[in-house]
Amino acid sequence: MPDSRISNPTVAFIGGGNMARSLIGGLVARGRSADAIRVAEPVAALRDALQHDFGVTCAEQATAAAEGAEVWVLAVKPQVMREVCAALVPLAQANRPLVVSIAAGITTAQLDRWLGGAMPVVRAMPNTPALLGAGITGLFANPRTSDAQRIDANALLDAVGPTVWIDDEAKMDAVTAVSGSGPAYVFLLAEAMQAAGIAQGLSPEAARALVQQTLLGAATMLVQQNEPADVLRTRVTSPGGTTQAAIETFEAGGFRELVDRAIHAATERGRQLSAAND
């Protein structure tokens, strides 16, 4: 594929689930022509919804959507990725599109091999807040990916939130563990805080409202004030006060070590997914 940048490349989404839908919505909202977006999705209801909501062209078969597209976004489950790629090998070898995968645990080397070899591949790990345009995506490009193709991949994922390029693919499993799975950790904290508030006598409605806005406000401060988390934590922890009592309890309970073990477990699971699907 030549290095000159395609200003509005045709993008084929192989898989039309929630993450693909969020990317398509972000692209269309940013001015990408619906005529330049195709989707392959075996479920008729999902195809109809995408076509109705965004005006994109949908097909049942992956080859129908991928034919002639300069960028392929592989948005299927890791367990079926190899099978999906096998059906696309002739087109991949004939056209050499940029391949962007959002499947957890599948490496660029695996994708390159499954598509017949010598392919430009970008591995991406967005997270579920992308559904609201508030996600973040870790990206890794294999050596066959040109600078122009990196720009195209970045523009694609930037439609649903900021991007972070990773220079070592082995670290992508850590990206998955920190940000890909990360929203669930926050939801778990919210569950626990709500339950604790109720145990202290708050109504379920009051506990839910207080926790939701507290988490939103804290996240907003982290992003907008551009200061390290430990600085912000220290600033709201008055010596001898209620916050210090809670923080000391967290620390005594091994909170940091527990988070470290959880992130490690998620990272290892990502590596296992890669091995299991090889």
Closest by CA to 84, choosing from 138, 42, 23, 24, is 42
Distance CA 10, CA 38 (A): 8
- pLDDT in tens for each of the 278 residues of the chain? 333 344 589 999 999 999 999 999 999 998 999 999 999 999 999 999 999 999 999 999 999 999 999 999 999 998 899 999 999 999 999 999 999 999 988 999 999 999 999 999 999 999 999 989 999 999 999 999 999 999 999 999 999 999 999 999 999 999 999 999 999 999 999 999 999 999 999 999 999 999 999 999 999 999 999 899 999 999 999 999 999 999 999 999 999 999 999 999 999 988 887 777 77
Distance CA 84, CA 42 (A): 12
What Å distances lie between residue 216 and 86, 161, 250, CA to CA? 44, 17, 21
| Domains of the chain: residue spans and CATH | 11-168 (3.40.50.720), 182-274 (1.10.3730.10)
E runs forming strands in the chain: 11-14, 37-40, 57-59, 71-74, 98-101, 121-125, 137-141, 163-165
